[in-house]
Structure 1
């Protein structure tokens, strides 16, 4: 009995795996529920990245507390930038401005993690997002691949689509954010040390 309890304890490998999956499922559900109005996707995505960054940095994090702290804290900025960028992206792609659309896509990829990590005006945060995106192009490629490739395979594989959909509904979005947050935190960390007063992490 003692051996069984040790295997299932929080410090065991199985306990850590189940704890991690529980956090990912909880974070995924929070993101899905708070994204339902569509207009709040910016705020919910920022909150998801805030929580993912905290999980990487601090490990022991209460997911729902971290999520709603960021959701409330960054609601106005994240919602405003989401509304603008979503409209611009749709307009550019509909008129075939793919090059400019890609630049907007880069901003969409980085702006919400930047809002999650730093406090500043939207203009400066957008500038920071471009700086981080092109400071290490390898990280940009990696985060773009982590974000886009799973969605691509979900859409093109009709036979396994139900399986992919179940994964997305359970933990797909949060796992993507958690994977991307590994790269974002390494980009942000030197600057977080320099400007502790301006960061939420």
Structure 2
């Protein structure tokens, strides 16, 4: 019985990990409330998640706000940039969808390709900012190159995001399920799972940086 409640017990370690993810998820949600801070919050979320995957530092609260402060300016610039580009592309789609010609069909296909590239960069950019010290231009460039260089991982990450979008739009019940799970631990579980892939990706570049 005593071994069951030992910190080294696999069951207790699993429960502790779930508790940490719930706490991390709550901190992340609270830090996103001002909206403009979402970029810095995502970077901090991935910073802590990667440390949890690598079992490097257990202090969630301290690490989250450390990354939040350090990467606030850079993450906010990138976040606002992606919002602006997304709004611009959204307007383009709105205009093009009102037309029904072969030319606009070709342009629409091109826009979807641009959206795919943009979202692939979006998937990588905040983990890159949270883990590597580089300029904003270098971070954007590195995110694009990593997305291309690690296509199998990129497709897995995009598939994970696509699954969430599908569940949100499939029905009212699945949308409610996503909302509830997101409020409990959805964001942190997703970032933790993604960081299993990012940890493998980043190892190569850590060696080069060293």
* Distance in 2 of aligned mates of 1:130 and 1:144: 14
Which stretches in structure 1 are left out of the alignment for 5+ residues? 197-201
Contact 1:92 1:98 in 2 (8 A): no
Kindly state the Cα deviation for residue 59 of structure 1 after the two structures are TM-superposed: 4.7
Which stretches in structure 2 are left out of the alignment for 5+ residues? 94-110
Match for residue 104 of structure 1?
A: 118
Runs of 4+ in 1 over 4 A off after TM superposition: none
**Aligned match of 1:158 in 168, 172, 187?**
172
**Which 10-residue stretch deviates more, 186-195 or 122-131?**
186-195
Is the aligned partner of 1:33 residue 2:47? no
Match for residue 85 of structure 1?
A: 82
RMSD, aligned α-carbons: 1.5
- Summarize deviations over 1:38-66 as a string: whole Å, max 9, x none: 11110000000011111112354211111
* Distance in 1 of aligned mates of 2:165 and 2:56: 27
* Distance in 1 of aligned mates of 2:178 and 2:75: 28
**Which 10-residue stretch deviates more, 11-20 or 44-53?**
11-20
Kindly state the Cα deviation for residue 8 of structure 1 after the two structures are TM-superposed: 2.3
**Aligned match of 1:94 in 69, 83, 91?**
91
- The number of residue pairs the alignment matches comes to 193
**Which 10-residue stretch deviates more, 154-163 or 55-64?**
154-163
Is the aligned partner of 1:18 residue 2:15? yes
Question: Cα gap change, 1:167/1:120 in structure 2, threshold over 3 Å: closer, same or farther?
Answer: same
* Distance in 1 of aligned mates of 2:5 and 2:86: 47
In structure 1, the residue corresponding to 2:173 is in which secondary structure?
A: coil
* Distance in 2 of aligned mates of 1:180 and 1:122: 22
Contact 1:147 1:176 in 2 (8 A): no
- Summarize deviations over 1:92-147 as a string: whole Å, max 9, x none: 13312322222211111110000011011111111110111111110001111122
Kindly state the Cα deviation for residue 19 of structure 1 after the two structures are TM-superposed: 0.7
Question: Cα gap change, 1:151/1:168 in structure 2, threshold over 3 Å: closer, same or farther?
Answer: farther
Match for residue 199 of structure 1?
A: none
Is the aligned partner of 1:122 residue 2:136? yes
**Aligned match of 1:167 in 181, 206, 209?**
181
In structure 2, the residue corresponding to 1:181 is in which secondary structure?
A: helix
In structure 2, the residue corresponding to 1:49 is in which secondary structure?
A: helix
Kindly state the Cα deviation for residue 179 of structure 1 after the two structures are TM-superposed: 0.8
In structure 1, the residue corresponding to 2:172 is in which secondary structure?
A: coil
Bigger-Rg structure (1/2): 2
